[in-house]
Chains A and B, each alone.
Chain A
Amino acid sequence: MDWVTRILRKLFRREDPETAFEREIAFHVETLMDTYIAQGMAPAEARRKALIEFGGREQVKQTVREVHVSALAEAVASNLRAALRFLRKSPTFSFAVILTLALGIGANSAVFSAIDTIIIRPLPFPNGDQLVAIYQHDSKGRDANRFVAPVRLEDWNRMNSTFQAISGYYKDDLSEISGPLPEKVTEALLRRGFFR
């Protein structure tokens, strides 16, 4: 179990490389200082000499940083190269995987954009959350007639105590034949209050 905790510690409690290197430098400088003090130098003088001997601290830190960055870049590059090599080595498998991913992502984004407009995003009207659609349903199970007669719409409005108002429309396709070619025109008949 010891190695498990060791790995977990490595994963979650990794020391910041910058601080780690700071400590590494500090050890070097302090040990140099110890050596000079052992040779009979005053501590302040020993510290000064140790710092000089170590040289440009920031410069060393910068170079070490570059080593880490370029190692990361190398790792990324070699992974990419390996991926490309694999893709080229087995084109059929690659094609199947790419097709699967493409279809999967495509289907997902299509379904999501539909769900987004229908369910998640509010209607593009003011107070869209107070807008409802009313259908009529034949409880006797005969052919359902989805059209509501204008008279009934007026009845509903008279009996209504729940909604601010009930409106409706009827849509029809007409032919416009005044020109050289007939044209399809869609008309809609609205009850008053539709655009309120």
Chain B
Amino acid sequence: MAPLEKADLLQGTLDLLILKVVALGPVHGYGISQRIRQISEEVLQVQQGSLYPALHRLEKRGWLAADWGESENGRQAKFYRLSAKGRKQLVAETETWDRLSRAVANILQTAQ
């Protein structure tokens, strides 16, 4: 599938995607962008210019915690992991997203 333009990503969706990917285990920025791309089957390509500010924002809010560690290729990388607060946030945001997407789907179906 062709990748969506950056603007097509709904406001706040990137935070949700990051929280979800990080919930799978500690991962660095590069890994997050790769996983989002792979899992979305190349539809979602997160720009570095949005990814890193988002990561730092989530870290500042206390949803993500970060530690420096060694990556698979033997380099020092900053690994992000989900905090307890972030786990709660992920649950809440997933719920909001489900409700939103169900609502949109309902409207699209009745409009047909």
- Chain A residues engaging chain B, CB cutoff 8 angstroms: 20-21, 23-25, 27-28, 30-32, 34, 54-56, 59-60, 63-64, 66-68, 71
Contact = CB atoms under 8 A, between A and B. Distances in A.
A30 B74 CA distance: 11
Given A31-B71, A31-B73, A54-B48, A63 B29 contact: no
B56 interface: yes
A59 B29 contact: no
Nearest to B28: A27
B48 A27 contact: no
| Majority SS at the chain A contact face | helix
B77 interface: yes
Contacts of B52: 21, 24-25, 60, 63-64
Interface residues of B, number: 18
Name, among B47, B49, B57, the residue most crowded by chain A CB atoms within 10 Å (CB to CB).
B49
Interface in B50-73: 52-53, 56-57, 60-61, 71, 73
Contact of A63 (B49, B75, B77): B49
B56 A27 contact: no
Contacts of B87: none
Contacts of B60: 67-68, 71
Contact of A28 (B48, B56, B76): B48
A23 B75 CA distance: 10
Contact of B30 (A28, A55, A67): A28
Contacts of B73: 30-31, 34
21 contacts: A20-B78, A21-B52, A23-B76, A24-B28, A27-B28, A27-B30, A27-B75, A27-B76, A28-B28, A28-B29, A28-B48, A31-B30, A32-B30, A55-B49, A60-B48, A60-B53, A63-B49, A64-B56, A67-B53, A68-B56, A71-B57
